[in-house]
Structure 1
Amino acid sequence: MYDHSITPRAEDPSLIEPRTFGWHSLIPARYPVLLPELNMASEEDYVARFQAFVLKLKRNLDPERVELQGLEHRRGMILGKTAYRRRAAELGLSRLEHEDLLQVKRLARDGAVLHGPRTEHHADELAAALHAESPWMSDIGTFLTRAMRSAANSGLSGLTLPPMILVGPPGCGKSHYARKLGELAGTPVRQIDVGSGTSAHRVAGTEKGWSSRQSGVPTETVLDRKVANPVMVVDEIDKAGTIYLAKGSPSSLITALLTFLEPSTAKVFECPSLRVTFDLSRVNWVLTANVLEDIPAVLRDRCRVFLMPEVTPGVAGMMVDAMARDFPQLDAETLSVVRREVTRTAARGKMSLRIIRRILEDVSRPPGLLLH
């Protein structure tokens, strides 16, 4: 049963109206996803330091010296460049392209931000808004509220959730719920298509040497958006398996995911493209599936599994009420007609969230101009 003392009922308009929160404007906390020493000085700085050192040595012999002469200047430059290359190699930065190096250094210097609730009150606000968006998902709403409260009590800033699998028939709102979770928390949401033959590489990335070398979606998002806790949505995980690529090598999405679902390995993930170690333990994972039995056991063991309700007439009615707020131009009479027809169709088992949105979009359009 749903505990309304944890997430208030959607019918209370004072609780469901706002979709932005005061804490969205707070300066976000930061999290070190890269080691600070990766923000090493530039080659020019190394050269300048060594030239200054050579000049200091010369002044010990000749206090009147004010600058280096030709060969002395060149010697300081060679020493500086050599020291720079050695240090870059030690840190694993010598193989990076210029733009990648700049991104890595900035992220190492500044850290990544953490978006989402910081306190129990923030968690309650987010849970209430999420429940208003998808009131038929009440069981998972209760779990999320408790998880966010627990994280806040532990001193963890930002959206912090264990990996989850949402299981239910197509059209019950699984992906919609996951996207709304990230949207309301103010953190980026990325969706990964399991049907793609390169889905494993989209998660983990590809090594340097491949023609399509690139970082995986989690690493790319953290690096580009400078956010430590984005939401990754992996749809239809029950259809995943080992897919053999054109070159004959296996590409297992499940194997790739296991690295990120275990905090201990996600914390020391080495991007195969950049060869730099990232702490991706704060990334949030939401997997969806249509059939529980088809989900690999290794994933069920590492995730919280939630069974979503079928789209019954009652659920369909809640979907209409929740989504109608995105169409304020519709009057009460029109919404009543839509709700009646949707629930009638749902009784025959032919309704989904996508169909409901399409219906609302159609009836909200102004009638076309008549041509005479």
Structure 2
Amino acid sequence: MSDRPQPTYAVVPSALDVPSERAFVERFTAFSHQLSRNLGSRYGSTHGKIMKATNLAKEAHDRHLRAAGVSRLVRDQQVQLARLARRGATLTGPCTLHAVDEWAAALHEASPWMSEVGTFLMRHMRRAVEKGRFGLSIPPILLVGPPGDGKTTYARLIAELSGTPFRQIDVGSGSAGFRITGLERGWSSAQSGVPVEMMLDRGVANPLLIVNEVDKAHGVRSTKGSVNDLETSLLQLLEPETASRFECPSLRVPFDLSRASWILTANDLQAVPDPLVDRCTVFRMPEVTPSVAGLMFDAIARNHEVIDQELLCQVRDMVIGASRTGSLSLRTIQRVLAGLEQLPGNVLH
């Protein structure tokens, strides 16, 4: 959304930037060669000294890994952490007030019926940029409404229109808590949580995490007896202070996850744990009235190669009429428009 270079943010300690073993060996052997040139025959056997320098380099590399607390990790993990410590993670999304306004306008054009949420996000983002907080930065929000009303679609739009990587975590899978915080080392299935994975794989400091159906959360007990529930996992990451010093249980390395943004969705607000509700700004999805149905239809139609305009107008009237029964959803409108493209015999107008 801007031509300026994307800013970076330190998400892991700089001490994790341990050069590779090869770099240590090259440095030590180069010093050994320099000594050989300066001292000549007094230096002794060049081959023997090179072997000694190589061994010393490997020992030094191991000491640095132990000091950084990553000696137990596999090489690929060490390399990822070193790269992240050296370069920092990218902050993606609007970095100027103009870019914020463009993003908010695009969001409103795509989902005009969500103007309440869009206005809230725009105001928050403008305040953040004015304070020098660059990139997508939104407080935790909870979208509440019946299935198929576009909660997840809107959350994805927030990320896509800002150019920010995002991931969805579905609570219905039963292991959402582990997916968020990760699983500690010593387990055969040990792995980092989704936020840490995104920082390591994508090099982004402020990903958007979409957690669907948090009202269906329940604790999951491992084969070793420990319990990991969604509420406990989320609470430590929704608070910037605790998120800034999160320790990955798999890597056992501290990460600053305070720049990650969270959008939760639920069908039933009463079933969402109170602590999660307290930490989120709650928005109820708008009822699909005839006027909202018309806005939804028009916005979605722009993304479809609907062919016959007369047919399109007729179907629009039918959709608006169906909304009066109270049984219409965004998902239904999407299916109707997708079906129109499949009709034979249409011609472009």
TM-score, normalised by the number of residues in structure 1: 0.86
- What residue in structure 2 maps to residue 34 of structure 1? 12
- d(CA) in 2 for partners of 1:334, 1:98: 60
- What residue in structure 1 maps to residue 68 of structure 2? 91
**C-alpha deviations, 1:202-237, integer Å up to 9, x for none?**
111112222222111111111111111111000111
- d(CA) in 2 for partners of 1:69, 1:123: 62
Output aligned runs, 1:15-34, within 5 Å: 21=1, 23=2, 25-34=3-12
Amino acid of the residue matched to residue 15 of structure 2?
Answer: E
- What residue in structure 1 maps to residue 145 of structure 2? 168
- d(CA) in 2 for partners of 1:58, 1:322: 74
Amino acid of the residue matched to residue 11 of structure 2?
Answer: V
The CA deviation at 1:157 is 1.3
- What residue in structure 2 maps to residue 315 of structure 1? 292
Output aligned runs, 1:99-178, within 5 Å: 99-178=76-155
- d(CA) in 1 for partners of 2:106, 2:127: 19
Secondary structure at 1:195's aligned position in 2? helix
Which blocks of at least 5 consecutive residues in structure 2 are unaligned? none
Equivalent in 22, 47, 52 of residue 25 of structure 2? 47
- What residue in structure 2 maps to residue 244 of structure 1? 221
Output aligned runs, 1:196-215, within 5 Å: 196-215=173-192
Q: Which moved more, 1:186-195 or 1:114-123?
A: 114-123
Q: Which moved more, 1:70-79 or 1:203-212?
A: 70-79
Residue pair 2:32, 2:53 contacting (<8 A) in 1 also: yes
- What residue in structure 2 maps to residue 297 of structure 1? 274
The CA deviation at 1:131 is 0.9
Amino acid of the residue matched to residue 78 of structure 2?
Answer: L
TM-score, normalised by the number of residues in structure 2: 0.92
- What residue in structure 2 maps to residue 14 of structure 1? none
What is the number of equivalent residue pairs in this alignment? 346
Amino acid of the residue matched to residue 113 of structure 2?
Answer: W
Amino acid of the residue matched to residue 332 of structure 1?
Answer: Q
The CA deviation at 1:64 is 4.9
- What residue in structure 2 maps to residue 13 of structure 1? none
The CA deviation at 1:334 is 2.3
- d(CA) in 1 for partners of 2:44, 2:268: 75
Secondary structure at 1:306's aligned position in 2? strand
The CA deviation at 1:52 is 5.3
Which blocks of at least 5 consecutive residues in structure 1 are unaligned? 1-20
- What residue in structure 2 maps to residue 180 of structure 1? 157
- What residue in structure 2 maps to residue 350 of structure 1? 327
The CA deviation at 1:55 is 6.7
- d(CA) in 1 for partners of 2:30, 2:224: 53
Amino acid of the residue matched to residue 45 of structure 1?
Answer: A
- d(CA) in 1 for partners of 2:223, 2:40: 69
Residue pair 2:174, 2:218 contacting (<8 A) in 1 also: no
Kindly, what percent of the aligned residue pairs are identical? 51
- d(CA) in 2 for partners of 1:312, 1:244: 43
Residue pair 1:169, 1:310 contacting (<8 A) in 2 also: no
The CA deviation at 1:163 is 0.9
- d(CA) in 2 for partners of 1:280, 1:67: 53
The CA deviation at 1:58 is 7.8
Amino acid of the residue matched to residue 239 of structure 1?
Answer: K
The CA deviation at 1:171 is 2.1
Equivalent in 193, 196, 207 of residue 230 of structure 1? 207
